[in-house]
Structure 1
Amino acid sequence: MKAAALTSFGGPEVLSLTEVPAPEAGAGTVRVRVRAAGVQHFDTRIRRGWAPPTVDMTFPVIPGNEFSGVVDQVGAGVDGFAVGDEVLGYTTTRSYAEYVVAPVGQVVPKPANMPWDVAGGFTGNGQGAAMCLRQMGVGSGDTVLINAAAGALGTFSVQLAKAWGATTVIGTASEANHDYLRSLGVIPVTYGEGLAERIRAVAPQGVDAAMDNVGEEALRASAEVVKDKSRIRTMIDDDVASELGIPLLKPHRSAEQLAELTALYAEGLIRIHLRAAYPLAQAADAHREIETGHGRGKIVLLVD
């Protein structure tokens, strides 16, 4: 099969289209013919040589931790999925390829109204937003601050906070993205010096919970405006969080959580903005774009 793979670690140029053996579905797994795969900052870290201890980094390494596609093999002992089912799911690596194998506990049915490109980039940001907001205790009546609200993760987070009952959602972003945030029902606030004061100006009643997708400056501002530090989380800077007494995020992904999110999409409560879609052969260009740190919405690879 074709895959966008690494034979060395480094910049985007080390990611290239390669022929590798296709995986086979084993017990408790399904093989999916991939239609689209999401691109995340996690993947760029893999490309540079970092990985969780459980990940095999023997070359060729295939990045990619979210996908959509059609089941084409079902392993022994699998119930609930059949060849031909349209699905989306997650792995840790291996999704930048024509085929990926995943445990059935990491795959859910694709909603009929969800396009393939959206489905391919849905899992990572959706589950990241869900685990963060859930650990922050976001719910009915809350005023919630989302830093970097116009990015792919931020866009999902502001919508999920509202779907879970938040009354007011404030989002930090560059001024070029303020109208976009308003279209999502978000109060936009500009980054930079004086951030805490600008947040207080639009939320004189106070902020109940805050999510950081930026780093130190935004995290410190969040700590200034949220009274209960147990309701702040960062996706970026654990060192500053520890210094400020903010709990660290506990990673959690599950098919149950993903199914909850796809149901919200099917109901029209979540919409995904696609920033760019690249063919699999241009995975290096997709990495170059995501590493600029600018732009809004999701980047995906189209595999088929």
Structure 2
Amino acid sequence: MQTQNEQPPVGGDGTGGRGAVRAVLLDAFGGPERLEVREVPEPQAGPGQVRVRVTAAGLNPMDWIITADADTAARFGLTLPAGFGTDYAGVVDQVGDGVTGFAPGDRVFGGALSRAVADVVVVDATGKTAADEVHHTPDGVDDRTAATLTIAGRTASAALAAVAPGPDDTVLIGGAGGGVGVFAVQLARIAGARVIGTGSAESAGHLRGLGAEPVVHGEGLADRVRALAPGGITAAVDLYGTETVDVARELGVPDSRICTIAAQVDGVTAANGASSPPGALEEIADLVAAGRLRVPLAARFPVEEIRRAAALQADRHVRGKVVIDL
């Protein structure tokens, strides 16, 4: 098992010296019990691609959502046998024809849709498609942290771009303690906004640590928000469902300054990672490197314990990110 900063060996021929690698696969769509670690043929980088020796892979709710059933998987172009996980970090060990800007030995991170939990991933070096991309990992960002950035960072950036918070804003963020919330709260604070974050009573300390003023979700939320912000809120981001949307509307926030990521609401912008602004991931990684944004790691597991890790992530009550070590 690799440590967070340790680089895997690179063979002189660029293959890493192995003909078979481990990958987490599903032979049938379903829950964490379907996940298996298998040996598969080692892939090779084609033209315009780079191959990465993965040291860490970060889990997200979308990983198990898109592999839970055949209909959802089909919408993402997945067929069986399918891989698992999207966020990765590691070291380039093979570069395909026509690739510039990357070389063997470069530390990198990015997204490989539903195939990141593997010893090796092959990705598009041009980064034309979200979740099939590679970026240089800045000095000062360890691999475990880099492996948490892509999906949650892109999604948070897209959601905030939709409401454009600034120093004159008080932003209500629903589900602020989750994986996307970690980024959304801090990015809104960096933009100068005041942030009120919803969560459970037990998550209050976690939310304060991110820079949010905590408020308990559930019945009576609008009254609790009024008490915290008698001058009103000016924008809202719902990272869980529609409760925050409903409260924001009740408190007079216009639909143009409300955003969702997990629900469709007429008149309200629905954001996702594919709609994040250009350069969003590089900006987030640089903020982490500069110590201005931190990513709490809730748990880490060896790849052999992928079922336990996925079950923890699927519970939706984890505070921070879950990471797989390879």
**What TM-score comes out, normalization by structure 2 length?**
0.87
Question: Compared with structure 1, are the counterparts of its residues 259 and 41 closer, same or farther at alpha carbon in structure 2 (3 Å cutoff)?
Answer: same
- Aligned residue for 2:279, secondary structure, equals helix
* 1:171-190 equivalences in 2 (<5 Å): 171-190=197-216
Structure 1 consecutive aligned stretches of length 4 or more whose deviation exceeds 6 Å? none
Verify: 1:51 aligned to 2:73, yes or no.
yes
Between the aligned partners of 1:301 and 1:47, the Cα distance in structure 2 is: 18
Question: Compared with structure 1, are the counterparts of its residues 135 and 253 closer, same or farther at alpha carbon in structure 2 (3 Å cutoff)?
Answer: closer
Aligned match for 2:118, one of 97, 101, 104: 97
Question: Compared with structure 1, are the counterparts of its residues 169 and 195 closer, same or farther at alpha carbon in structure 2 (3 Å cutoff)?
Answer: same
One-letter amino acid matched to 1:62: G
Between the aligned partners of 1:177 and 1:191, the Cα distance in structure 2 is: 11
Structure 1 residue runs of 5 or longer lacking an equivalent are none
One-letter amino acid matched to 1:39: L
Verify: 1:223 aligned to 2:249, yes or no.
yes
Verify: 1:125 aligned to 2:152, yes or no.
yes
Verify: 1:10 aligned to 2:35, yes or no.
no
Aligned match for 1:36, one of 46, 56, 70: 56
Between the aligned partners of 1:289 and 1:193, the Cα distance in structure 2 is: 27
Aligned-pair CA distance for 1:226: 4.5
Verify: 1:237 aligned to 2:259, yes or no.
no
Aligned length: 297
Aligned to 1:288: 311
Cα shift readout 1:242-261 (whole Å, capped 9, x = no counterpart): 2xx22232532577221111
Asked if 1 retains the 8 angstrom alpha-carbon contact of 2:200 and 2:217, the reply is yes
Aligned match for 2:135, one of 81, 103, 108: 108
- Aligned residue for 2:167, secondary structure, equals coil
Asked if 2 retains the 8 angstrom alpha-carbon contact of 1:107 and 1:255, the reply is no
- Aligned residue for 1:290, secondary structure, equals helix
Verify: 1:82 aligned to 2:82, yes or no.
no
Between the aligned partners of 2:227 and 2:254, the Cα distance in structure 1 is: 19
- Aligned residue for 1:48, secondary structure, equals coil
Asked if 2 retains the 8 angstrom alpha-carbon contact of 1:147 and 1:173, the reply is yes
One-letter amino acid matched to 2:123: A
Cα shift readout 1:55-105 (whole Å, capped 9, x = no counterpart): 24131x111111000000111111111000001111222101000011122
Name the Cα RMSD after superposition: 1.6
Aligned to 1:62: 83
* 1:264-303 equivalences in 2 (<5 Å): 264-303=287-326
- Aligned residue for 1:128, secondary structure, equals helix
Aligned-pair CA distance for 1:54: 5.2
- Aligned residue for 2:275, secondary structure, equals coil
One-letter amino acid matched to 2:176: A
Between the aligned partners of 2:252 and 2:305, the Cα distance in structure 1 is: 42
Aligned-pair CA distance for 1:19: 1.1
Aligned-pair CA distance for 1:185: 2.3
The structure whose residues are more often helix, as a share, is 1
One-letter amino acid matched to 1:283: I
One-letter amino acid matched to 1:234: T
Question: Compared with structure 1, are the counterparts of its residues 255 and 299 closer, same or farther at alpha carbon in structure 2 (3 Å cutoff)?
Answer: farther
Aligned match for 1:211, one of 213, 217, 237: 237
Aligned-pair CA distance for 1:111: 1.8
Between the aligned partners of 1:223 and 1:279, the Cα distance in structure 2 is: 44
Asked if 2 retains the 8 angstrom alpha-carbon contact of 1:275 and 1:295, the reply is yes
Between the aligned partners of 1:232 and 1:253, the Cα distance in structure 2 is: 16
Between the aligned partners of 1:109 and 1:205, the Cα distance in structure 2 is: 43
One-letter amino acid matched to 1:231: R
Asked if 1 retains the 8 angstrom alpha-carbon contact of 2:154 and 2:281, the reply is yes
- Aligned residue for 2:176, secondary structure, equals coil
Aligned to 1:144: 171
